[in-house]
Structure 1
């Protein structure tokens, strides 16, 4: 065997490591990798390691189509791994149809079972493999771990491993950029598709209805015009609805000079191989197919993909566009021609996909119509110059703009599942139970007999034991309460609960405290206090209750903390020296962004930070924007925990910080002043009545209050306040030299010569 490790890319090695790690704790793993990123080559490396580890090992590779089996065999044989059923063969590549008929005839026991295109693995024939070989490791490979019917894969696979996204692979250069054009919203073609109402057994559009609506000359003519306009003379694949649709498209394209062939399930295997080989060699320009090249087809130099078949299946959509995203020499980009408006159902290929939710069955791999425009629709403003302004197609994304987005790391979010979507309840029709979902993603399965209310990421529910409570969007219990008749969210994280006697009380979700009176929220900057009746309560887990007769004037907001006057608080604590003789020691302190407790206020330091103490006698240093830090305790075991020593160090450092802060403030003020003065250097003296001032344009910057003002030099100018009493002001009017000199001369070097009396002068630096 040839070791395939040297042919692996870095991301493939990383994924292989993740798979091997996952097998240490799970028997069955599903691996998701986008189309065109080398799943089969990675598989060869995994099988190589498996066989090398134990010479007696046996590997089964199972696929749902004969063409996939042949492709796997070719890849395995390139690495010298025999993959045909021989007596001495340790690797068997088989279709699931053949295996289901011969399962009892196979006497070897596989150590590893690989399922290619594992999104098909929910069929009963695959389940039989798990039942017959429970000890074998399983690896499912797929680009799209999703199903239309929201049926997950957790019955077969224990864990999902996901690779980088399509966005990441394009950014890293492993997949091709693309241009994307689609039919216009509201166009005749889009209306035809919007009116498709019938569904097949798999939940997708019914083939018969699609064929009746779209397999007609006007629609096929529009397909041809789209190729001529956006992919003229390019090599491509067309995805058709039915065999007759595919053949009609191929006939029309050939009639108009495009070398085209149609391939479908009825095409004989030998002829199919010949047609595919001719296409790969460039002898045929266009292949029209019916679900033949959705999976496993490898032809990197495909330059365009035309979607002529509507679908609700995300898997089909990504498998189709993925055929064009493979990189090839001389291929700059791929043109994706969407003649059936699929991007309005699924977003662009680069959109975010919640594969874990689909794997677990919380989200269907289905397209949903939406009227909102995704973030990347701004790209429409830059259209292809060849596009007709009112033509049937519009440019949704050009490869230049796409590359711009990727380089700026700007996310192209999912069309159907965005972070802005709200949490909503849903009811399961079969069980009658309630669950939670965001958009189309189920975040908490249907499990609640009653769902009272939803707000933000929380829901008020009744559990199966008839108790009530609050859960988050994933169904995790935040709080469990008694058996209430009703629950309703109020503003400011308050919940109103009604008992069986129709009596309403209130719960503070911040600290789970119950109030009989409706609490009123008092806000002091970032800090909130509740008033219920005549009592005041903090919203911390260790709750402060003020039992004294106080009002709002006894609360003092200090930015990152709040002081509350309470002369009855006990016990006594130590204080910072500046407070030792103060009569105002009776303060409780509540910190912003601290939900744990309230504290005793022990003093403020020169830099504005504070010292506080908790109820256990521990002292902390707290400052704006930082977590409180433990510094001392009432009964220290070491010198470092001694209150006086710890505070002394804090005061020294606080003085240094205060001095540094003041210096920084001074520098900032000087910098701002210089910037302001620089804008005023064109100021000129002006006269109003008998007095002079300065103005900049029409704006007066120094009012007319002086006898005379000379023309500014730099940031300064000389002014005469009284006869023969000269001084200097800055351009903003600030006096820098008092007006008491007989004469003033400002130099260009930033100094000034001041005449005290004739013959006696002094020079000052401005």
Structure 2
């Protein structure tokens, strides 16, 4: 039975209603909502309602241990503590090792960051528990290889666009700064030829081309120019790249630290806590805070890693779009020219086509290659002496963005 939840925002209430309507026809449903719009809070309301009408347990499955702890904290705030045993938050790695000895059958399995669900470890859940309802939640229902999700999920429910969320005040507006199209850095990125197993740029080649003193200095200079004194997250290519960036920033007086897969869990937790509490200004990471990381007062996001993945791009810029009383807007510093491939974060995407496998997760790169991608003209930028800056350009300001949204441009 569907009921309203007072703690949900209007759009979350609408998404919940649409999901339950969809469950009337299909057992397995994926829900798309942009990063920062409260998917986990919606999840708790859905789980609570499911438990109200069923005696079967609920599993919430995440792909990293940090996300497990974060989701456990959120659902506990709504009275669903893990000690009660009715809701279990599990990592997919733990399930793949221990799933065969589980002595319970879930009635509902929620897949967090469900764009990972095509992996064989997730597919096992469909094979072992065919009768359980499946709910997939993601901001980006797309894959770089173009594979769709229809062999796992029967339908997709999509929310408002990023543009609409910003216009209604639920997401932060942003300033977007990028390297210029004719810059040395853009030419270096355009020279990248090799691809990894996932179809994205090869990490080894990216590291060889961009993990150099000149490029690292450019990264620092752009932060110093556009985000001095602000709190932010930097996305690096490799562990060596992240550590070199952090060392450079620290040498210039910025409180920066690198976090990667080799950082011990206890140290990582302390560093993240320091960042949340403002004791650390800059986190430089390698694919650690691309998904699920919730820190609304992030004031800038720096993109220092080229990618061909639309999902990776939107997940990363989305870390800065959460609303916070402490910030008027977020600064997105694109040191690798990703907006030329994907458009701005407000670009509208055909999620249904990607969900069904009719469009690949880097769809706009084809338009770029054919010269068909239309972006707003860069805003002119002058330095303190009135001379035109040759390295960076301001692609969008938060004021112009809000005006364009209000005018329906």
Query: For the superposition of Structure 1 and Structure 2, which TM-score range results when normalised by the shorter chain?
Result: over 0.9
Larger RCO of the pair (alpha carbons < 8 Å, separation 6+)? 2
Equivalence map 1:46-195=2 (5 Å): 46-54=46-54, 56-83=55-82, 89-195=85-191
Asked if 1:364 corresponds to 2:363, the answer is no
Q: Of 262, 265, 274, which residue of structure 2 is paired with 1:266?
A: 262
Higher helix share: 2
Equivalence map 1:503-522=2 (5 Å): none
Equivalence map 1:111-510=2 (5 Å): 111-366=107-362, 368=365, 369-370=368-369, 372=371, 375-378=374-377, 380-383=378-381, 389-410=388-409
| Mapped partners of 2:178, 2:322: distance in 1 | 21
Which string of whole-angstrom CA distances, capped at 9 and with x for unpartnered residues, describes residues 372-410 of structure 1? 4755523x2454666951321101111111111100011
| TM-score (normalised: structure 1) | 0.52
Equivalence map 1:646-685=2 (5 Å): none
Computing the radius of gyration over CA atoms, which structure comes out larger, 1 or 2? 1
Residues 146 and 355, structure 1, Cα contact 8 Å, conserved in 2? yes
Residues 32 and 139, structure 2, Cα contact 8 Å, conserved in 1? yes
Residues 279 and 286, structure 1, Cα contact 8 Å, conserved in 2? yes
Q: 1:376 to 1:344 in 2, by over 3 A?
A: closer
| Mapped partners of 2:335, 2:372: distance in 1 | 19
Residues 146 and 354, structure 2, Cα contact 8 Å, conserved in 1? yes
| SS of the residue 1:161 aligns to | strand
Residues 76 and 82, structure 1, Cα contact 8 Å, conserved in 2? yes
Cα RMSD between the aligned structures?
Answer: 1.5
Which string of whole-angstrom CA distances, capped at 9 and with x for unpartnered residues, describes residues 310-335 of structure 1? 00000000000000000001310100
2:5 maps to 5
Residues 383 and 389, structure 2, Cα contact 8 Å, conserved in 1? no
Residues 59 and 87, structure 2, Cα contact 8 Å, conserved in 1? yes
| Mapped partners of 1:94, 1:37: distance in 2 | 23
Count residues in correspondence: 403
| Mapped partners of 1:325, 1:303: distance in 2 | 9
Q: Please identify, of 91-100 and 368-377, the stretch whose mean Cα deviation from structure 2 is larger.
A: 368-377
The Cα shift of 1:103 comes to 1.1
| SS of the residue 2:376 aligns to | helix
1:482 maps to none
The Cα shift of 1:6 comes to 1.8
Q: 1:360 to 1:388 in 2, by over 3 A?
A: farther
The Cα shift of 1:220 comes to 0.2
| Mapped partners of 2:343, 2:373: distance in 1 | 8
| Mapped partners of 2:225, 2:373: distance in 1 | 26
Q: 1:93 to 1:7 in 2, by over 3 A?
A: same
| SS of the residue 1:160 aligns to | strand
Gaps of 5+ in 2: none
2:35 maps to 35
The Cα shift of 1:17 comes to 0.2
| SS of the residue 2:43 aligns to | helix
| SS of the residue 1:5 aligns to | coil
2:45 maps to 45
The Cα shift of 1:136 comes to 1.0
| Mapped partners of 1:391, 1:108: distance in 2 | 62
| Mapped partners of 1:13, 1:57: distance in 2 | 24
| Mapped partners of 2:233, 2:34: distance in 1 | 19
Higher strand share: 1
1:21 maps to 21
Which string of whole-angstrom CA distances, capped at 9 and with x for unpartnered residues, describes residues 546-585 of structure 1? xxxxxxxxxxxxxxxxxxxxxxxxxxxxxxxxxxxxxxxx
Residues 224 and 253, structure 1, Cα contact 8 Å, conserved in 2? yes
| SS of the residue 2:263 aligns to | coil
| Mapped partners of 1:372, 1:172: distance in 2 | 33
Gaps of 5+ in 1: 411-766
| SS of the residue 2:302 aligns to | strand
